[in-house]
Amino acid sequence: MRTVACTPNCGPYLEAGYRLFGYPVPKVDLTAWNRVEFVPKNWKTHRTICCEPSGNIPFQLAFDTYVKRMLRRKTRINLATQLNNKEQARQSSIDGSLATVDLSMASDTVSMNAVIWLLPDDWVKYLFDTRSPLYSLNGEVAKYAKFSSMGNGTTFALETLLFASFLYAVGSKKGLA
């Protein structure tokens, strides 16, 4: 029988998912951490990513899909294509009407409290249940101080939602509606 790794809080989601789709529930290997790796970012530096337990990934990506769909439906943010961004960057290079901010290590800026304070309780529970609370690096296990890492399937959509919400809250409507 196949073994699937997942965090303890994600175990019930994994079991329910297999049962819902009529598959036999696999043997579950519970782990509370993901694994830190380094991958090439460009020719001279590496990017830190984390490899999530395989059983958590479908549930993280389900959240990602839902948020991307809602962002597209409620705003002009379409994370499936860069065409709008490309056109806005081109136009701004001509007339200076917009500016961009490239946040180095943006995923590190999403704190656990931001998630708790800004999202509905059921979303918070789901996100905490499907994330890895710990990481493993060089054989040492440590607790995360941030909400999620690059490699967690919720990270990009979650930070986009939060950053767009901050812009909306301070009165910027450009690109949001």
- Can you tell me whether residue 26 is helix, strand or coil? coil
% of the chain exceeding 90 in pLDDT: 59
Degrees, nearest 5: CA angle 45-79-172: 100
Q: Is the pLDDT of residue 177 over 60?
A: no
What tokens appear for 126 in the block? 């789901």
What tokens appear for 33 in the block? 């951490």
Rounded mean pLDDT, 139-153: 92
Rounded mean pLDDT, 29-51: 92
pTM of the model: 0.87
Give the up-direction half-sphere exposure of residue 169: CA atoms within 13 A in the CB hemisphere: 7
Number of residues assigned to the chain:
177
Q: What gap in Å lies between CA 116 and CA 103, rounded to an integer? A: 22
